[in-house]
Structure 1
Amino acid sequence: MIKIIASDMDGTLLNEKMMISQKNIDAINHATANGIDFLIASGRQLDEAKPFLMNKIHPGYITLNGAEVYSKDEKLVSSNPVSKTSALKVAEYMDEHDLYYELITDKGVFSNSLEKRTVSIAQLLNVLNPTTTYEKALADTKAVLKHAKTIYVDDYDEILNDSETKVMKLLVFDNRQDEIFEPLKASLGVIDDIVITSSSPNNLEINSIDAQKGSALMEYAKQKGVNPEEVMAIGDNMNDYSMIKAAGIGVAMKNAVPEITALADEHTDTNVNDGVAKIIEKVIQNNKTVGNRE
C-alpha cells in the first residue's frame, strides 16, 4: 500500500503551459482525502514552487533537489547548503568560461541578467515541451517572471562571500548542452562534497552531496514511520534519479529521459496528458484493493 507520493514539477506535474492541470489537482486532492501524503519534489525553491499550486493543493515540499524540506505547514524540516569553498570553486569555473548561472540561496534567487534569465527559462520550457514554439515559450516565460521574486545584482561576489548567506544550489543554463556540460562535469566532478544533476538537457544543477531528492524523501518517510516500499516517486529527468531509485515504486513519465525510463518500476503518460493524475488514480484503486483484502 502506498502511503507517500512524491512528484517532480517541470516535465512531470507541470504541463506545456507551465501549469498544473485541473485533472492533476483533482487527483492529488483525491489522494490526500484517501490518506496518502503528497509531496512536491522540485529543483525549485519554496517561493518559486508555491505559486504554481494556486492554493488548490497543500503538500509538503522537497525543494532545491533536497537542499530544503518543508512540512505541509511550510516549516523548514532540514537544510543542506553547498559549502562556501565549493560554491566559490563552482562560481569561479562559471565566470572563467563566461557561463550564465544563478544562485539559489536562503535569502532568495539571485540573477545577474534579466535578459539571460528570460531566454534561459524560455529555452528550458521549449526543450521540455517540443510542441510549444519558442515564441510561445518566451511569452509564457515573461508572464511567469512578472511574479517571480528574483533579486537582480551586477555580480555574485558579495553573496558568495557573505557568511550569513547560504548557497543552496547553483543553476547553470546553456543551450549548447553537452558541448559545455561535459567538460564542466569533468572539471567540477572532482569536488567531493557536491552533486551535479539536471532537470532538462539545457541546464545543470549543483547541490551539496547531502542534498538529493532520494535521501530527502527517505528521511521524510522515516520520520513519518513509512517504509520505503510504501513510497512512490514520479519524475522525468536526472535530478529525479535518486528518488525514483530509492522509492518502493519509481514512476517515469512517458516524456522522461531514457535513463529514468529504464530505471523506473512503472510508467505513466506525459506531462501534457496528465500522467501524474493517471498514476495517482491507479494507486488509489490499488490501495483500496489491498485494504479490502486486509
Structure 2
Amino acid sequence: MTAYRLLALDMDGTLLTDDKLITKEAAHWIRLAEEAGVTVMFATGRGMQTAGSFWEELDLLSPMVLLNGAEIWEGPGRLHERTFLSREDIRKLHELAVVSGARFWGYSVESLTGSKHWSDEMFDRDWMKFGIHHQEIDVIEPLREKVRSWGHLEVTRSADTNMEISVRGVSKASGVKKVCGLLGITMDQVMAVGDQHNDMELIRAAGLGIAMGNADEALKRAADGVTDTNERNGVAKAIQKYIFQLDPSESQAG
C-alpha cells in the first residue's frame, strides 16, 4: 500500500499538456490511484472558471485548492473558504499595472476579468487573486519587489513574465494543509507535483515533492524527485513510480 494518501497536482505545465489537455494516460493513472485509496486533487493557480471543467472531466469528488490557496472546495458544490484581497490593495495593484503598461487580470467570485474588460464597477467586487504580466523581465521583477515591499501580500509567479498576488500566508501549501485537516491526514502523507515557483512551498512541505521535467530549475533543486515533462506524461509516470512503485518505461495505459 502506498504511503501517500493525497496526490496534489498543479495543472498548467504539469497535468495539462501545452494544448491544455489531460492525456488518456494521465486520466488512466489518476483513476487507478483513486481506486487504490489515494485522494487526487488540484492545487492550482486557476479559479473555478477555468478549472471546473477538468474536475468534471476526471469525475473527481475530491477537495480542490484553487487560486493558489485563496479558494478551497471540500468537493463539487461544497465551498470550504475564500480569502479576499482588500479593495484598497486591488486599487493599488491595478494602478501599478496600468502605470507600468502591464497586462493584468483578477479572479472574483463572479468572474475572471482581464485588462480589456476591467471597469470602475470591478472595484466594488471582492477579489481573491490578482495577476500582472509584462513580457520584459526588467519590468516585471521590480514590480514583484515593490509589492513584496508592502509587506502584507503573498507574491509568487507561474511564469518568469508574471506575478500572482494573494493575501499574505495564502498559498497552495496552506490550502493543501487545510485539505489534510478535512481528510484527517498529515502533510507527510501528501505527494505533490508541480512545475513553477508558485508550487515551491507545496513541493517543500509535502511528504514527497516531485518536479516536472519542464519545471523551473529552482523547483527541480527543491524537489525530492523529477519526472518527465507535461508533454511526455510526467504526471502519469510519477504516479506509476511513486505510488505504485512501477517502472514507467514498462507500463502502459489501459
The TM-score normalised by the length of structure 2 is: 0.91
Matches within 5 A, 1:172-211: 172-176=132-136, 178-211=137-170
Q: Aligned partners of 1:54, 1:68: CA distance in 2, in Å? A: 18
Which residue of the partner structure matches residue 171 of structure 1?
Answer: 131
Would you say the 8 A contact 2:211–2:226 is kept in 1? yes
Instruction: Find out whether 1:66 has 2:69 as its counterpart.
Output: yes
Which residue of the partner structure matches residue 118 of structure 1?
Answer: none
Distance 1:230 1:286, change over 3 A: farther
Structure 1 runs (4+) deviating above 4 angstroms are none
Which residue of the partner structure matches residue 264 of structure 1?
Answer: 223
2:121 corresponds, among 148, 153, 158, to: 158
- AA matched with 2:178: E
Would you say the 8 A contact 2:73–2:79 is kept in 1? yes
Any gaps of 5 or more consecutive residues in structure 2? 247-254
Would you say the 8 A contact 2:63–2:179 is kept in 1? no
- AA matched with 2:184: G
Q: Aligned partners of 1:39, 1:67: CA distance in 2, in Å? A: 15
Would you say the 8 A contact 1:46–1:61 is kept in 2? no
Would you say the 8 A contact 2:49–2:112 is kept in 1? no
Q: Percent identity?
A: 29
Which residue of the partner structure matches residue 98 of structure 1?
Answer: 101
Any gaps of 5 or more consecutive residues in structure 1? 114-152, 288-294
Q: Aligned partners of 1:68, 1:215: CA distance in 2, in Å? A: 11
SS at structure 2 position matched to 1:51:
helix
- AA matched with 2:206: A
SS at structure 1 position matched to 2:21:
coil
Instruction: Find out whether 1:218 has 2:177 as its counterpart.
Output: yes
Q: Aligned partners of 1:158, 1:187: CA distance in 2, in Å? A: 26
Q: Aligned partners of 1:158, 1:210: CA distance in 2, in Å? A: 28
SS at structure 1 position matched to 2:203:
helix
Would you say the 8 A contact 1:86–1:194 is kept in 2? no
Q: Aligned partners of 1:258, 1:106: CA distance in 2, in Å? A: 34
Which residue of the partner structure matches residue 24 of structure 2?
Answer: 22
Would you say the 8 A contact 1:28–1:57 is kept in 2? no
